[in-house]
Amino acid sequence: MPQFLAAFEVGQSKVEEERRQQICRFGRWMYRRGLVVACQGNLSVRLDEDRILLTPAGACKGRLAPEDLLITDLSGAVLSGAGEPSSETQMHLLFYRERPEVHAVCHAHPPTATGFAAAGRALDQPVLPEIVADLGTIPLAPYGTPGTWEVCAGLEPLVAEHDAILLESHGVVTCGKDLATAYYRMETVEQFAKILLTARTLGGPRLLSSREVEKLMAAKAGRWTARPQGSVELPLEADARAYAAPGARRERTPFSRHRAQRRNAR
């Protein structure tokens, strides 16, 4: 074998070994932080254009070993590994097929966020600026019988626009450019759900206004100017129709625009 090809294969297997260790590490974190119990949830990463490394069915994420993991193609056919693919594999593959920039998917049943999903409530209100800036809205995918095509059918319209999605009466799925990003988004969704629940018990939450959302997006995009006195003003271009009237149907204008900007930047 030519030397450069051998070096390429060694490089490839090193990357794969690192990805296997990563899945085991984040699986332990997911289990220890109570985002899943028993054998729930699953994690996956993209190895290359055609292959996905993922956790097998029936394995506790707190006790995974690198050799337990499976490699499948984008249709879900097992290419290597001894276990069975999870019934939720197709949910992961949907992200990889629809979004080339996604390199990791995390699925869990975090108790508070799943409580919102069980109550049929999305996490789509502009409450915390960091959530708005990173995740936009966290919509609710309609219920589908686990292990059937219905789960993907409910998710499909949402996958292109959202990095975190609640699954009605089920759990949460997040994605990212790498496994750390996907995993931290899962933690973030759960923490947001806890904060929102607390705010509701205290009579809130106070929603960010349309202008506050616009300013946040402008600041994130670096489109702000300093005034001599040290205050800042933003060159806002958009109108403030969304969130304008109390009780009005919320249009996702600021979020949608933000998502479009992020897509274009990828």
Binding site for Zn ion (CB under 5 A): 171
At 58 the three-state DSSP class reads coil
Are the C-beta atoms of residues 213 and 254 closer than 8 Å to each other?
Answer: yes
The span from the first CA to the last CA of the chain, in angstroms, equals: 37
Instruction: For residue 161, indicate whether it is catalytic.
Output: no
Least distance (Å) between residue 224 CB and Zn ion: 41
From the CB of 60, what's the least distance to Zn ion, in Å? 14
CB nearer to Zn ion: give 154 or 171.
171
Strand, coil or helix: 114: helix
Q: C-beta of 40: minimal distance to Zn ion in Å?
A: 6
Residue 59 or 217: which CB sits closer to Zn ion? 59
Q: Is the peptide bond before 126 cis (omega within 30 degrees of 0)?
A: no
Choice between 122 and 240, CB closer to Zn ion:
122
Residue among 88, 161, 190, 214 flagged as catalytic: 88
Residue (105 or 213) nearer to Zn ion, CB: 105
- The residue at minimum Cβ distance from Zn ion is 171
- Tell me how far apart the alpha carbons of residues 242 and 136 are, in angstroms, rounded to a whole number: 14
- DSSP output for 176-214: ESSHHHHHHHHHHHHHHHHHHHHHHHTT-PPPPPHHHHH
Least Cβ distance, residue 79 to Zn ion (angstroms) = 23
Residue 43's H or E segment, with its range, is strand 42-46
The residues assigned a catalytic role are 88
